[in-house]
């Protein structure tokens, strides 16, 4: 009996050690993990001498943790954090980029998001803002299209077949004159260097097989001059998806009542014209908004809003297509808190 008891103790200790090792050893794939939404009041500073007192209420931003999945979590899904999502390495890094490279790209996306939010908010409030188009920024490239071989996020397209393009509309118009399977020559500026030509074969649009597309997501690249300084600091948080809450908080600090006294969480990237652009990780961000006990959660309309509704559990979801519409809905739909 003593011999069996001793063996059981040894096996139990080995099991604990194995579980401990599996818990701490990372695998190759990733988890998206919710983070609690946080107020922006002490993260945004608007240095306007003529501004009044900030409006009441709070604007919250939401983010998520992206980390390597642990071996135990990969083997036993029930050990993963609540609200997390498994993401394979091939999906998160289709071109084989490293974690450090992705962090640098996220930091650059955050800087552009801050600048765009300031332009959109100040223009809507009637301030004079100069934004001179410089080309079309590539924000992401589908991994399964020919363009993935020659284009990458952060590239700026300045010419198509020798013709200068400065706005996304001009680029789409040029591509729209071609047929699926045609090859375009794009002049691309990468990391601030002189433009180089790359050849890209178009593909058929999934929605309209007769229409040619390249398979990239784009934004306006511009030189921006603001009437006063706007400083935003979220520390190590990166990515483009806080553009909408940034713009709302800037407006709030300049006296616009955007919250009606409520706690308003928001997510969504912004284009320079105020369009709200869909983002990823909506499930985790909705969980994070719920955990902060906010009153309303503004999200990009469409698929993002559907994902948010599925995870809302009573949280009021407000779909929006633009910053202008967000202000309108906040003024008419939101009940005073």
Q: Is the dihedral of CA 182, 187, 192, 193 positive or negative?
A: positive
142 φ, ψ (degrees, to nearest 5):
-60, 135
Asked if residue 282 lies in contact with residue 304, where contact means CB atoms within 8 angstroms, the answer is yes
- E strands, 142-194, in order: 156-160, 163-164, 183-189
CATH of domain 130-223: 2.30.42.10
- Residue 123 tokens read as 């223009």
Per DSSP, what are the bridge partners of residue 263? 58
Asked if 287 and 38 touch (Cβ cutoff 8 Å), the reply is no
The secondary element (H helix, E strand) that includes residue 113 is helix 99-124
- Which residues on neighbouring strands pair with residue 225, listed in sequence order? 130
Beta-sheet pairing, 156-160 with 85-87: unpaired
Give CATH for domain 29-128+228-332. 3.30.230
State the pTM of this model: 0.79
Domain boundaries, the chain: 29-128+228-332, 130-223
DSSP three-state, residue 199: strand
pLDDT of amino acid 106: 67
- Tokens 């959109």 appear where? 120
What CA–CA distance (Å, rounded) separates 98 from 192? 21
pLDDT of residue 203: 92
- Look at residue 266 in the predicted model and tell me its pLDDT: 95
pLDDT at 10: 47
φ, ψ at 163 (rounded to 5°)? -95, 130
CA distances from 93 to 71, 146, 172, 214 (A): 19, 17, 26, 19
Taking alpha carbons only, the member of 52, 84, 55, 53 closest to residue 68 is 84
Handedness of CA 186, 189, 195, 198 (dihedral sign): negative
What is the chain's pLDDT, residue by residue, as a tens digit (337 residues)?
A: 445 455 554 445 555 555 444 445 566 788 888 999 999 988 888 886 556 667 677 999 999 888 888 888 888 888 888 888 888 877 776 666 676 766 677 677 777 888 889 999 999 999 998 888 888 888 888 888 999 999 988 899 999 999 999 888 889 899 989 999 999 999 999 887 899 999 999 999 887 889 999 998 888 888 889 888 888 888 777 677 889 999 999 999 998 888 988 999 999 988 888 889 888 899 999 999 999 999 999 999 999 999 999 999 999 999 999 999 999 999 887 777 7
């Amino acid at each position: 009996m003593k011999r069996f008891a001793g063996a059981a103790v040894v096996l139990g200790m080995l099991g604990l050690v194995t579980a401990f090792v599996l818990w701490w050893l990372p695998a190759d794939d990733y988890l998206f993990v919710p983070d609690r939404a946080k107020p922006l009041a002490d993260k945004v500073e608007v240095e306007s001498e003529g501004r009044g007192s900030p409006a009441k209420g709070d604007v919250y931003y939401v983010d998520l943790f992206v980390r390597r999945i642990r071996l135990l979590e990969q083997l036993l899904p029930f050990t993963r954090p609540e609200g997390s999502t498994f993401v394979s390495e091939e999906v998160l890094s289709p071109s084989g980029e490293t974690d450090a490279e992705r962090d640098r790209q996220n930091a650059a996306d955050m800087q552009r998001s801050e600048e765009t939010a300031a332009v959109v908010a100040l223009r809507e409030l009637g301030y004079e803002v100069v934004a001179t188009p410089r080309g079309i920024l590539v924000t992401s490239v589908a991994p399964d299209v020919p363009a993935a071989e020659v284009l990458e996020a952060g590239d700026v397209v300045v010419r198509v077949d020798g013709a200068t393009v400065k706005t996304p509309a001009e680029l789409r118009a040029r591509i729209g004159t071609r047929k699926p399977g045609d090859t375009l020559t794009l002049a691309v500026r990468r990391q601030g260097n002189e433009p180089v030509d790359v050849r890209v074969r178009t593909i058929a649009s999934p929605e309209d097989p007769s229409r040619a597309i390249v398979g990239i997501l784009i934004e306006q690249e511009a030189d921006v001059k603001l009437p006063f300084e706007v400083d935003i600091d979220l520390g190590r948080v990166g990515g483009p998806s806080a553009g909408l809450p940034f713009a709302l908080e800037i407006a709030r600090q300049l006296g616009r009542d955007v919250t009606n006294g409520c706690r308003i969480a928001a997510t969504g990237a912004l284009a320079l014209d105020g369009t709200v652009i869909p983002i990823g990780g909506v499930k985790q961000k909705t969980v994070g908004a719920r955990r902060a006990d906010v009153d309303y959660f503004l999200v990009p309309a469409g698929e993002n809003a559907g994902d948010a509704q599925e995870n809302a559990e009573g949280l009021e979801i407000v779909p929006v297509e633009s910053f202008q519409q967000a202000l309108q809905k906040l003024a008419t739909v939101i009940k005073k808190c």
